[in-house]
Protein backbone atom coordinates (compact mmCIF):
# COMPACT_ATOMS: atom_id res chain seq x y z
CA UNK A 1 0.00 0.00 0.00
CA UNK A 2 1.51 3.33 -0.99
CA UNK A 3 1.93 6.12 1.51
CA UNK A 4 -0.68 8.73 0.75
CA UNK A 5 1.61 11.45 2.08
CA UNK A 6 4.30 10.58 -0.47
CA UNK A 7 4.39 13.18 -3.24
CA UNK A 8 4.08 11.96 -6.80
CA UNK A 9 5.54 14.88 -8.72
CA UNK A 10 4.94 14.87 -12.40
CA UNK A 11 2.97 11.66 -12.28
CA UNK A 12 0.10 11.59 -14.75
CA UNK A 13 -2.75 10.35 -12.62
CA UNK A 14 -5.25 7.64 -13.31
CA UNK A 15 -3.13 5.35 -15.42
CA UNK A 16 -5.88 4.95 -17.99
CA UNK A 17 -5.17 5.54 -21.65
CA UNK A 18 -6.25 9.01 -22.70
CA UNK A 19 -9.13 8.43 -25.06
CA UNK A 20 -8.94 12.10 -25.83
CA UNK A 21 -6.21 11.22 -28.33
CA UNK A 22 -8.73 9.40 -30.41
CA UNK A 23 -10.76 12.52 -31.12
CA UNK A 24 -7.79 14.80 -31.57
CA UNK A 25 -7.34 16.09 -28.01
CA UNK A 26 -3.98 15.83 -26.27
CA UNK A 27 -3.24 14.38 -22.84
CA UNK A 28 -3.69 16.55 -19.81
CA UNK A 29 -0.70 18.15 -18.13
CA UNK A 30 1.17 16.43 -15.31
CA UNK A 31 -0.70 16.69 -12.02
CA UNK A 32 0.74 18.94 -9.37
CA UNK A 33 2.67 17.77 -6.33
CA UNK A 34 0.88 16.11 -3.45
CA UNK A 35 -1.30 17.48 -0.70
CA UNK A 36 1.31 18.47 1.86
CA UNK A 37 3.66 20.34 -0.45
CA UNK A 38 2.45 23.73 0.76
CA UNK A 39 0.36 24.56 -2.29
CA UNK A 40 -3.44 24.86 -1.88
CA UNK A 41 -4.93 21.38 -1.77
CA UNK A 42 -6.02 19.79 -5.02
CA UNK A 43 -9.73 18.91 -5.21
CA UNK A 44 -10.74 15.93 -7.33
CA UNK A 45 -14.01 16.72 -9.10
CA UNK A 46 -16.04 13.86 -10.63
CA UNK A 47 -17.03 15.64 -13.82
CA UNK A 48 -19.37 12.84 -14.98
CA UNK A 49 -21.65 12.54 -11.92
CA UNK A 50 -24.98 14.38 -11.77
CA UNK A 51 -28.17 14.90 -13.78
CA UNK A 52 -26.58 17.76 -15.69
CA UNK A 53 -23.07 16.31 -15.95
CA UNK A 54 -20.63 16.97 -17.38
CA UNK A 55 -21.72 20.46 -18.53
CA UNK A 56 -22.94 21.83 -15.21
CA UNK A 57 -20.11 20.23 -13.23
CA UNK A 58 -17.37 21.57 -15.52
CA UNK A 59 -18.93 25.03 -15.54
CA UNK A 60 -19.23 25.00 -11.73
CA UNK A 61 -15.69 23.75 -11.24
CA UNK A 62 -14.26 26.40 -13.58
CA UNK A 63 -16.28 29.11 -11.86
CA UNK A 64 -15.09 27.95 -8.42
CA UNK A 65 -11.47 27.78 -9.62
CA UNK A 66 -11.67 31.31 -11.02
CA UNK A 67 -13.53 32.90 -8.14
CA UNK A 68 -11.58 31.31 -5.31
CA UNK A 69 -8.24 30.40 -6.91
CA UNK A 70 -8.81 26.68 -6.42
CA UNK A 71 -6.74 23.83 -7.82
CA UNK A 72 -9.00 21.25 -9.38
CA UNK A 73 -8.58 17.86 -11.07
CA UNK A 74 -11.58 17.02 -13.26
CA UNK A 75 -12.03 13.28 -13.78
CA UNK A 76 -13.99 12.07 -16.78
CA UNK A 77 -13.98 11.44 -20.50
CA UNK A 78 -11.48 13.82 -22.11
CA UNK A 79 -13.40 13.77 -25.37
CA UNK A 80 -16.40 15.29 -23.58
CA UNK A 81 -14.57 17.51 -21.15
CA UNK A 82 -12.04 19.22 -23.43
CA UNK A 83 -14.64 20.96 -25.64
CA UNK A 84 -16.50 22.13 -22.53
CA UNK A 85 -13.28 23.52 -21.03
CA UNK A 86 -12.36 25.15 -24.32
CA UNK A 87 -15.79 26.73 -24.48
CA UNK A 88 -15.23 28.22 -21.04
CA UNK A 89 -11.87 29.61 -22.11
CA UNK A 90 -9.77 27.26 -20.02
CA UNK A 91 -6.30 26.90 -21.54
CA UNK A 92 -4.75 23.54 -22.25
CA UNK A 93 -1.86 24.01 -19.85
CA UNK A 94 -4.02 23.49 -16.86
CA UNK A 95 -4.81 26.92 -15.46
CA UNK A 96 -8.38 28.14 -15.30
CA UNK A 97 -7.16 31.31 -16.96
CA UNK A 98 -8.96 34.61 -16.91
CA UNK A 99 -11.89 33.43 -18.91
CA UNK A 100 -13.12 34.17 -22.38
CA UNK A 101 -14.63 37.49 -23.24
CA UNK A 102 -18.04 35.95 -22.60
CA UNK A 103 -17.21 35.07 -19.01
CA UNK A 104 -15.04 38.08 -18.26
CA UNK A 105 -11.72 38.11 -16.49
CA UNK A 106 -11.12 36.66 -13.03
CA UNK A 107 -11.85 39.07 -10.22
CA UNK A 108 -9.00 41.37 -9.41
CA UNK A 109 -6.87 40.02 -6.60
CA UNK A 110 -8.12 36.45 -6.88
CA UNK A 111 -5.78 33.66 -7.90
CA UNK A 112 -6.69 32.46 -11.36
CA UNK A 113 -6.98 28.85 -10.21
CA UNK A 114 -5.72 25.75 -11.97
CA UNK A 115 -7.57 22.90 -13.64
CA UNK A 116 -6.19 19.52 -14.63
CA UNK A 117 -7.98 16.92 -16.64
CA UNK A 118 -7.59 13.31 -15.50
CA UNK A 119 -8.99 10.72 -17.90
CA UNK A 120 -11.62 8.27 -16.70
CA UNK A 121 -13.20 6.21 -19.42
CA UNK A 122 -16.12 4.90 -17.41
CA UNK A 123 -18.83 6.64 -15.41
CA UNK A 124 -21.66 5.70 -13.07
CA UNK A 125 -25.27 6.33 -14.08
CA UNK A 126 -27.53 8.19 -11.65
CA UNK A 127 -29.70 5.08 -11.38
CA UNK A 128 -26.85 2.86 -10.22
CA UNK A 129 -26.41 2.04 -6.58
CA UNK A 130 -23.73 0.67 -4.32
CA UNK A 131 -22.75 -2.17 -6.66
CA UNK A 132 -21.16 0.36 -9.00
CA UNK A 133 -18.39 0.67 -6.41
CA UNK A 134 -17.17 -2.81 -7.33
CA UNK A 135 -18.35 -3.00 -10.92
CA UNK A 136 -16.78 0.19 -12.19
CA UNK A 137 -13.13 0.47 -11.07
CA UNK A 138 -12.39 2.98 -13.85
CA UNK A 139 -15.36 5.25 -13.29
CA UNK A 140 -14.83 8.98 -12.88
CA UNK A 141 -15.63 8.73 -9.16
CA UNK A 142 -13.24 5.78 -8.71
CA UNK A 143 -10.46 7.69 -10.49
CA UNK A 144 -11.15 10.71 -8.27
CA UNK A 145 -10.68 8.50 -5.20
CA UNK A 146 -7.47 7.07 -6.70
CA UNK A 147 -6.07 10.60 -6.88
CA UNK A 148 -6.45 10.75 -3.12
CA UNK A 149 -4.81 7.35 -2.60
CA UNK A 150 -1.86 8.49 -4.74
CA UNK A 151 -1.46 11.51 -2.50
CA UNK A 152 -2.32 13.92 -5.27
CA UNK A 153 -5.79 15.09 -4.31
CA UNK A 154 -6.88 16.13 -0.82
CA UNK A 155 -10.64 15.73 -1.23
CA UNK A 156 -13.30 14.52 -3.66
CA UNK A 157 -16.59 15.98 -4.83
CA UNK A 158 -19.30 14.34 -6.94
CA UNK A 159 -22.95 14.98 -7.82
CA UNK A 160 -23.45 11.34 -8.78
CA UNK A 161 -25.57 8.60 -7.21
CA UNK A 162 -25.14 8.76 -3.42
CA UNK A 163 -25.11 4.99 -3.04
CA UNK A 164 -22.42 4.59 -5.70
CA UNK A 165 -20.27 7.39 -4.29
CA UNK A 166 -20.43 6.05 -0.73
CA UNK A 167 -19.64 2.50 -1.90
CA UNK A 168 -16.79 3.62 -4.16
CA UNK A 169 -15.26 5.84 -1.49
CA UNK A 170 -15.49 3.10 1.15
CA UNK A 171 -13.82 0.66 -1.23
CA UNK A 172 -11.05 2.95 -2.47
CA UNK A 173 -10.28 5.21 0.47
CA UNK A 174 -8.95 4.10 3.84
CA UNK A 175 -10.94 4.88 6.96
CA UNK A 176 -9.36 7.20 9.51
CA UNK A 177 -8.06 5.33 12.57
CA UNK A 178 -10.88 4.82 15.03
CA UNK A 179 -13.65 5.20 12.47
CA UNK A 180 -15.50 1.92 11.89
CA UNK A 181 -17.74 3.35 9.19
CA UNK A 182 -17.86 6.79 7.56
CA UNK A 183 -21.01 8.88 8.00
CA UNK A 184 -22.88 11.19 5.69
CA UNK A 185 -23.23 14.68 7.18
CA UNK A 186 -25.80 17.20 5.95
CA UNK A 187 -26.10 20.84 6.97
CA UNK A 188 -29.68 21.84 7.85
CA UNK A 189 -30.64 25.50 7.30
CA UNK A 190 -31.65 26.27 10.87
CA UNK A 191 -31.62 29.69 12.49
CA UNK A 192 -29.72 31.50 13.82
CA UNK A 193 -26.98 29.08 12.76
CA UNK A 194 -26.95 25.82 10.80
CA UNK A 195 -27.23 22.34 12.34
CA UNK A 196 -25.32 19.31 11.11
CA UNK A 197 -27.22 16.01 10.83
CA UNK A 198 -25.32 12.73 10.56
CA UNK A 199 -25.54 9.92 9.55
CA UNK A 200 -27.90 10.83 6.71
CA UNK A 201 -27.73 7.39 5.12
CA UNK A 202 -24.25 5.87 4.85
CA UNK A 203 -24.99 2.96 7.21
CA UNK A 204 -28.49 1.74 7.99
CA UNK A 205 -27.65 -0.52 10.96
CA UNK A 206 -24.76 1.03 12.90
CA UNK A 207 -23.54 -0.16 16.30
CA UNK A 208 -24.11 2.27 19.20
CA UNK A 209 -20.33 2.89 19.39
CA UNK A 210 -20.42 4.22 15.83
CA UNK A 211 -22.80 6.98 16.88
CA UNK A 212 -20.11 8.27 19.25
CA UNK A 213 -17.69 8.28 16.32
CA UNK A 214 -20.30 10.13 14.26
CA UNK A 215 -20.45 12.72 17.04
CA UNK A 216 -16.68 13.25 16.81
CA UNK A 217 -16.88 13.53 13.01
CA UNK A 218 -19.73 16.02 13.34
CA UNK A 219 -17.95 18.12 15.94
CA UNK A 220 -14.85 18.32 13.72
CA UNK A 221 -17.01 19.37 10.76
CA UNK A 222 -18.90 21.97 12.79
CA UNK A 223 -15.63 23.44 14.07
CA UNK A 224 -13.94 23.51 10.68
CA UNK A 225 -16.79 24.31 8.31
CA UNK A 226 -19.32 26.12 10.50
CA UNK A 227 -16.86 27.92 12.79
CA UNK A 228 -18.41 26.72 16.04
CA UNK A 229 -15.77 26.47 18.76
CA UNK A 230 -17.52 23.97 21.00
CA UNK A 231 -20.40 22.40 19.11
CA UNK A 232 -23.34 21.07 21.14
CA UNK A 233 -24.26 17.52 20.21
CA UNK A 234 -27.77 16.03 20.42
CA UNK A 235 -28.95 12.47 19.83
CA UNK A 236 -32.06 12.07 17.65
CA UNK A 237 -34.66 10.09 19.58
CA UNK A 238 -38.36 10.07 20.44
CA UNK A 239 -38.38 11.81 23.80
CA UNK A 240 -36.14 14.07 25.85
CA UNK A 241 -35.41 11.60 28.66
CA UNK A 242 -32.34 9.33 28.41
CA UNK A 243 -34.55 6.21 28.62
CA UNK A 244 -36.57 7.19 25.54
CA UNK A 245 -35.87 5.64 22.16
CA UNK A 246 -35.11 2.31 20.59
CA UNK A 247 -32.33 0.05 21.88
CA UNK A 248 -29.73 1.69 19.65
CA UNK A 249 -30.58 5.22 20.78
CA UNK A 250 -30.73 4.27 24.47
CA UNK A 251 -27.29 2.64 24.36
CA UNK A 252 -25.83 5.46 22.26
CA UNK A 253 -27.13 7.91 24.86
CA UNK A 254 -25.17 6.11 27.58
CA UNK A 255 -22.00 6.07 25.49
CA UNK A 256 -22.30 9.74 24.56
CA UNK A 257 -22.66 10.65 28.23
CA UNK A 258 -19.51 8.71 29.16
CA UNK A 259 -15.92 9.77 28.45
CA UNK A 260 -14.96 9.18 24.81
CA UNK A 261 -12.90 6.00 24.28
CA UNK A 262 -9.21 5.90 23.30
CA UNK A 263 -8.40 9.30 24.80
CA UNK A 264 -10.69 11.07 22.35
CA UNK A 265 -11.57 14.70 22.97
CA UNK A 266 -14.67 15.29 25.11
CA UNK A 267 -18.03 15.87 23.45
CA UNK A 268 -20.52 18.53 24.61
CA UNK A 269 -23.46 16.14 24.66
CA UNK A 270 -26.71 17.87 25.57
CA UNK A 271 -29.00 14.83 25.43
CA UNK A 272 -31.83 13.72 23.17
CA UNK A 273 -33.49 15.86 20.55
CA UNK A 274 -36.66 14.98 18.63
CA UNK A 275 -37.71 15.20 15.00
CA UNK A 276 -39.32 18.57 15.67
CA UNK A 277 -35.96 19.92 16.85
CA UNK A 278 -34.12 19.29 13.57
CA UNK A 279 -34.74 22.87 12.45
CA UNK A 280 -34.96 24.40 15.92
CA UNK A 281 -31.28 25.27 16.29
CA UNK A 282 -31.10 23.73 19.78
CA UNK A 283 -27.85 21.93 19.04
CA UNK A 284 -25.08 22.21 16.43
CA UNK A 285 -24.69 18.50 15.65
CA UNK A 286 -27.42 15.83 15.64
CA UNK A 287 -26.32 12.19 15.49
CA UNK A 288 -28.48 9.24 14.48
CA UNK A 289 -28.31 6.01 12.52
CA UNK A 290 -28.33 6.23 8.72
CA UNK A 291 -31.83 4.78 8.39
CA UNK A 292 -33.50 7.27 10.72
CA UNK A 293 -31.32 10.12 9.47
CA UNK A 294 -32.18 9.46 5.85
CA UNK A 295 -35.91 9.19 6.57
CA UNK A 296 -35.80 12.41 8.63
CA UNK A 297 -33.83 14.33 5.99
CA UNK A 298 -36.11 13.26 3.15
CA UNK A 299 -39.19 13.97 5.29
CA UNK A 300 -37.85 17.45 5.94
CA UNK A 301 -37.17 18.12 2.26
CA UNK A 302 -40.50 16.62 1.22
CA UNK A 303 -42.46 18.66 3.76
CA UNK A 304 -40.75 21.90 2.75
CA UNK A 305 -41.57 21.17 -0.89
CA UNK A 306 -45.15 20.27 0.07
CA UNK A 307 -45.59 23.50 2.03
CA UNK A 308 -44.28 25.46 -0.95
CA UNK A 309 -46.66 23.73 -3.36
CA UNK A 310 -49.60 24.20 -1.03
CA UNK A 311 -48.86 27.87 -0.72
CA UNK A 312 -48.54 28.35 -4.44
CA UNK A 313 -51.86 26.56 -4.91
CA UNK A 314 -53.50 28.68 -2.24
CA UNK A 315 -52.13 31.84 -3.81
CA UNK A 316 -52.97 30.78 -7.35
CA UNK A 317 -56.48 29.84 -6.37
CA UNK A 318 -57.33 33.13 -4.72
CA UNK A 319 -58.17 36.49 -6.19
CA UNK A 320 -54.97 37.78 -4.65
CA UNK A 321 -52.89 36.03 -7.30
CA UNK A 322 -51.17 39.20 -8.44
CA UNK A 323 -50.32 40.26 -4.92
CA UNK A 324 -49.14 36.70 -4.32
CA UNK A 325 -46.78 36.89 -7.24
CA UNK A 326 -45.28 40.03 -5.76
CA UNK A 327 -44.83 38.40 -2.40
CA UNK A 328 -43.32 35.32 -3.94
CA UNK A 329 -40.57 37.40 -5.43
CA UNK A 330 -39.75 38.97 -2.08
CA UNK A 331 -40.40 36.36 0.54
CA UNK A 332 -40.65 32.93 -0.95
CA UNK A 333 -37.39 33.16 -2.78
CA UNK A 334 -35.55 33.65 0.49
CA UNK A 335 -37.44 30.78 2.08
CA UNK A 336 -36.82 28.37 -0.74
CA UNK A 337 -33.14 29.30 -0.79
CA UNK A 338 -32.85 28.44 2.85
CA UNK A 339 -34.28 25.02 2.18
CA UNK A 340 -32.37 24.52 -1.05
CA UNK A 341 -29.45 22.10 -1.01
CA UNK A 342 -27.59 24.18 -3.58
CA UNK A 343 -26.92 26.95 -1.10
CA UNK A 344 -25.09 24.74 1.37
CA UNK A 345 -23.10 22.60 -1.00
CA UNK A 346 -24.19 19.06 -0.33
CA UNK A 347 -23.57 16.20 2.03
CA UNK A 348 -20.09 15.30 3.27
CA UNK A 349 -18.93 11.72 3.76
CA UNK A 350 -16.71 12.00 6.84
CA UNK A 351 -14.30 9.55 8.41
CA UNK A 352 -12.20 8.49 5.42
CA UNK A 353 -8.64 9.59 4.64
CA UNK A 354 -10.16 12.33 2.48
CA UNK A 355 -13.51 14.05 2.72
CA UNK A 356 -15.95 13.24 -0.08
CA UNK A 357 -18.61 15.86 -0.73
CA UNK A 358 -21.79 14.60 -2.40
CA UNK A 359 -23.62 17.39 -4.19
CA UNK A 360 -27.30 17.06 -5.06
CA UNK A 361 -27.76 15.10 -8.27
CA UNK A 362 -29.79 17.92 -9.80
CA UNK A 363 -27.21 20.67 -9.24
CA UNK A 364 -26.73 23.26 -11.92
CA UNK A 365 -23.42 25.06 -12.38
CA UNK A 366 -23.99 27.38 -9.42
CA UNK A 367 -24.65 24.49 -7.02
CA UNK A 368 -21.66 22.59 -8.37
CA UNK A 369 -19.45 25.63 -7.73
CA UNK A 370 -20.72 25.86 -4.13
CA UNK A 371 -19.99 22.16 -3.60
CA UNK A 372 -16.47 22.44 -5.05
CA UNK A 373 -15.81 25.46 -2.84
CA UNK A 374 -17.05 23.57 0.25
CA UNK A 375 -14.80 20.63 -0.62
CA UNK A 376 -11.77 22.87 -0.99
CA UNK A 377 -12.55 24.67 2.27
CA UNK A 378 -12.83 21.39 4.19
CA UNK A 379 -9.49 20.23 2.76
CA UNK A 380 -7.73 23.55 3.38
CA UNK A 381 -8.93 23.59 6.98
CA UNK A 382 -7.48 20.13 7.53
CA UNK A 383 -10.69 18.42 8.57
CA UNK A 384 -9.16 14.93 8.44
CA UNK A 385 -6.39 15.99 10.84
CA UNK A 386 -9.04 17.51 13.09
CA UNK A 387 -10.94 14.22 13.09
CA UNK A 388 -7.75 12.27 13.89
CA UNK A 389 -7.15 14.55 16.87
CA UNK A 390 -10.71 14.23 18.13
CA UNK A 391 -10.73 10.45 17.92
CA UNK A 392 -7.78 10.21 20.26
CA UNK A 393 -4.08 9.43 20.39
CA UNK A 394 -4.62 5.85 21.55
CA UNK A 395 -5.98 5.06 18.12
CA UNK A 396 -4.29 7.40 15.71
CA UNK A 397 -1.10 8.75 17.32
CA UNK A 398 1.10 8.21 14.30
CA UNK A 399 -1.34 10.05 12.09
CA UNK A 400 -1.60 13.10 14.30
CA UNK A 401 1.20 15.12 12.78
CA UNK A 402 2.54 14.85 9.32
CA UNK A 403 6.33 15.08 8.84
Q: Exposed/middle/buried for 26, CB within 10 Å: 0-12, 13-18, 19+?
A: exposed
Q: Is residue 300 close enough to count as binding its own copies by CB under 8 A?
A: yes
Question: What is the Cα–Cα distance from 317 to 314, expressed in whole angstroms?
Answer: 5
Residue count of the chain, please give it: 403
Binding flag, residue 33, its own copies (CB under 8 A) = no
The stretch near its own copies (CB under 8 A) out of 39-47, 84-92, 201-209, 373-381 is 201-209
How is the chain split among helix, strand and coil, in percent rounded to 5? 45, 15, 45
**Distance in angstroms between the alpha carbons of the first and the last residue of the chain:** 19
Q: How far is the CB of 124 from its own copies (least distance, A)?
A: 16
Nearest distance in Å: CB 269, its own copies: 19
Under the binding rule (CB under 8 A), the answer on residue 392 touching its own copies is no
Pairing between strand 355-358 and 114-119? unpaired
Beta strands 71-76 and 42-46: pairing type? parallel
Alpha helices in 104-190 (DSSP H): 132-135, 140-149, 162-172
Question: What is the 3-class SS of 51-95, one letter each residue?
Answer: CCCCHHHHHHHHHHHHHHCCEEEEEECHHHHHHHHHHCCCCCCCE
Among 79, 315, 340, 362, binds its own copies (CB under 8 A): 315
Comparing CB distances to its own copies, the nearer of 194 and 245 is 245
Min CB(394)–its own copies separation in Å: 31
180 binds its own copies (CB under 8 A): no
11/207 with CB nearer its own copies: 207
Q: Does 332 bind its own copies (CB under 8 A)?
A: yes
CB burial string 248-265: b at 16+ within 10 A, e below: bbbebbebbeeebeeebe
Q: Using the rule CB under 8 A, is 292 a contact of its own copies?
A: yes
- Contact between 193 and its own copies by CB under 8 A: the answer reads no
Is 246 an interacting residue with respect to its own copies (CB under 8 A)? yes
Q: How far is the C-alpha of 20 from the C-alpha of 144, rounded, in Å?
A: 18
| Shortest Cβ 321–its own copies spacing (Å) | 10
The residue range among 96-104, 136-144, 273-281, 389-397 that interacts with its own copies, by the rule CB under 8 A, is 273-281
In the set 8, 33, 228, 311, which binds its own copies (CB under 8 A)? Answer: 311
Please identify, using beta-carbon distances, which residue of 13 and 363 lies nearer to its own copies. Answer: 363
Min dist. Cβ of residue 185 to its own copies (A): 16
- CB count within 10 Å of CB 394 equals 12
- Work out how close the CB of 236 gets to its own copies at its nearest, in angstroms, rounded to a whole number: 6
Interface residues toward its own copies, by CB under 8 A: 129, 163, 201, 204-205, 236-239, 241, 245-247, 249, 274-280, 288-292, 294-308, 310-311, 314-315, 317-320, 323-324, 326-327, 330-332, 334-335, 338-339
Amino acid sequence: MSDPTEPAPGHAAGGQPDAGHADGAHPGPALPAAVHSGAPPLVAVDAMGGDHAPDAIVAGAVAAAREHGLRIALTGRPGQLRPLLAGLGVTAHGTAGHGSGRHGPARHGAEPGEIWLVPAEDSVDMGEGALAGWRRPRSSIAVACQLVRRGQAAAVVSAGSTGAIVATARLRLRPLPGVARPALAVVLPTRPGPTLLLDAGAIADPKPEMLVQFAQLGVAYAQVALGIAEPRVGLLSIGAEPGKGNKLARRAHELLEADPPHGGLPISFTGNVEGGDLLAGKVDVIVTDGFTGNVALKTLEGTAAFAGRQLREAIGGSRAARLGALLQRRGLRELSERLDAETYGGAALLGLEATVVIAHGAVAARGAAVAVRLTADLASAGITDKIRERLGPARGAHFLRRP
